[in-house]
Amino acid sequence: MKFCEEIHELAPELREHAKTWTQSAVLARHCPDAVAVVSATGSRTHRELNDNVNRLAHALCKRGLGPGSALALLCQNRVEFVEVFLAAMRLGIRLTPINTHLTAQEVRYIVEDCRAEVFIAQGNLFLGEMLPPGVEVLLIGSDEQTNTYEACLGQSRADELSAPRCGTLMLYTSGTTGRPKGVFRREPEVIEPQFEGSFAQYRPGDVALCCGPAYHSAPLLFDIRWPLASGIPILLLEKWNSLEVLRLIQAHRVTHAHMVPTMFKRLLDVDQALRSTFDLSSLRFLVHGAAPCPIAVKRGMIEWLGPVLTEYYAATEGGNGIHVDSQQWLLKPGTVGRLDPSLGHRILNDQGEDVPPGEVGRIYFKAPSTGRFEYFGDPQKTAATYARDLFTLGDLGYQDQDGFLFLTGRAAECIISGGVNIYPREIDEVLMSHPAVKDACTVGAPDDEWGERVVSVVVLHPEVQATPELQHSLSTHAAKFLASFKLPREFVFDESLPYTGTGKLQRNRVRERFWSDRAQRI
């Protein structure tokens, strides 16, 4: 792989172009033949990437799109995703990447709700019912004779835009309750290079691997936006495969990647003898978040790869400054980082008062004075998220005496039994420390006496059988670590648990099986 070795020298120029997202034009001038993007469906040098971005931008301009216009994108991890992203960012467009696992009707809802004027879709993912009336579609890699992405680029010119404008992103929430909502900021997506002193700390010769879905905010930031702004080549993995991930890291000397706990579990499931044949010593920054990571899983990753893991706590809506490296985490297993009062991190009770260390409350961040997010078209949901100059993601947690934050779950997931709050994630962690348990999800089921009773749905390792003796073993194990009122009153064994494409446990779907015949949920 040919690198752009001059990235440190180019840093000032790359920063100057951050507000127009034309860093790829700088890189095309200074290191045109260095690799920019590699995927299973093709690769691009910096010159090839920039030329295609300009071609697409001019084609979209011809279709009437410009600053403030909306564009929807349905595409897996392939080079065209990067081209569309860059074209939208330098045209001032509001871009909405869509989850590729959604149904046709769910896709159509987002295309309509984001008010897209053009819909760019991967041909083998597109269905006619996805397209609302009045929206033009361009198909990537399609056998169609017209309205193809490739024909669009072939009929356009590659010269630079005369007046590039920084665009915006509007990603949709996972929709675990009700319809998904667009998370919208009116401020442009200005991303500066990430060299020494930054979070990512890129160096010449670094390589980023995008092995999660690019439509999700975290891979899009860590594995695409930051590397693109910094001249770091990107490897795009279209679909997760543990052995392919290990092969790519070794073959391309990958230094940076974002993963979620589900990916960690799958990597650790690879036979240890086989894992040890791969040279992963190039990894320097393996960042993770988006979903809670079981303590045993994270400890296993650190024991295998060394202290290269960094965990963060944030979401599509925002949040900054809470993260923890491997050394700190080993001293405080389970923490997601230290709260920083100077950044406005606070934990409040329902009365809006700060809670003392050890007491669970709702976690808040300081809201920026400008560029606050809003839920597109939903002022009520937006207002409910803010409290004066603070905002919350709806998560609950506590800080210890040293200020380290521990998450206990989302407010909507809290089990209320006999008037007492019980936090299911704590129970899950205990159960997953039992050698027979592969995964666990604890929920509140309806109970006429207590309101809710604690039920744990458990996935066992393949060689383990669900027996009455095992249930007794699980109960005995849990009783060693949990107060009696937190203990599961029932164990349900299943083959798997539902997760989103980004690795978040869909606890609401597990809960539904117990509440589906009830008119209301406490």
**Structure tokens of 430?**
């205990």
pLDDT digits (tens, 9 = 90+) for 48-63: 999 999 999 999 999 9
pLDDT digits (tens, 9 = 90+) for 433-451: 999 999 999 999 988 778 7
Strand runs (DSSP E) across 190-284, as ranges? 208-210, 234-236, 256-259
Q: What is the pLDDT of residue 382?
A: 86
Q: Indicate the average pLDDT of the chain.
A: 91
Query: What is the C-alpha R_g of the chain?
Result: 24
Q: Answer yes or no: is pLDDT of 300 > 90.
A: yes
pLDDT digits (tens, 9 = 90+) for 148-157: 999 999 999 9
Burial 5-29 (b: 16+ CB within 10 A, else e): eebeebbeebeebbebbbbbbbbbe
Mean pLDDT to the nearest integer, 69-85: 97
Alpha-carbon distance of 105 to 127, in angstroms, equals 10
- The CA–CA distances, whole Å, from 264 to 14, 141, 224, 274, 498 equal 34, 32, 20, 16, 17
Mean pLDDT to the nearest integer, 175-187: 75
Strand, helix or coil at 50? helix
Q: What is the pLDDT of residue 89?
A: 96
Q: What is the pLDDT of residue 321?
A: 82
End-to-end Cα spacing for the chain? 57
Strand-pair category, 42-45 with 70-74: unpaired
Q: Give every CB contact of residue 301 below 8 A, 6+ residues apart in sequence.
A: 264, 267, 268, 286, 309
Q: Give every CB contact of residue 316 below 8 A, 6+ residues apart in sequence.
A: 171, 173, 183, 217
Domains and CATH numbers, the chain: 7-239 (3.40.50.980), 420-515 (3.30.300.30)
Mean pLDDT to the nearest integer, 27-48: 96
Q: What is the pLDDT of residue 521?
A: 39
Q: What is the pLDDT of residue 260?
A: 87
Q: Answer yes or no: is pLDDT of 251 > 70.
A: yes
pLDDT digits (tens, 9 = 90+) for 130-147: 999 999 999 999 887 778
Residue 308 banded pLDDT, cuts 50, 70, 90: very high
Residue 178 banded pLDDT, cuts 50, 70, 90: low
Q: What is the pLDDT of residue 96?
A: 97
Residue 522 banded pLDDT, cuts 50, 70, 90: very low
Q: Answer yes or no: is pLDDT of 353 > 60.
A: yes
Q: Answer yes or no: is pLDDT of 519 > 70.
A: no
Q: Answer yes or no: is pLDDT of 223 > 60.
A: yes
pLDDT digits (tens, 9 = 90+) for 381-408: 888 888 888 888 888 899 999 999 998 8
Q: Answer yes or no: is pLDDT of 380 > 90.
A: no
Task: Report the DSSP beta bridge partners of residue 361.
Answer: 397
What pTM does this model have? Answer: 0.84
Mean pLDDT to the nearest integer, 249-260: 96
Ramachandran assignment for 334, one of left (phi > 0), alpha (psi -120 to 50 degrees), beta (any other) = left
Q: Which of 158-172, 173-187, 204-218, 475-489 is least confident?
A: 173-187
Mean pLDDT to the nearest integer, 421-432: 89
C-beta of residue 118 within 8 angstroms of C-beta of residue 88: no
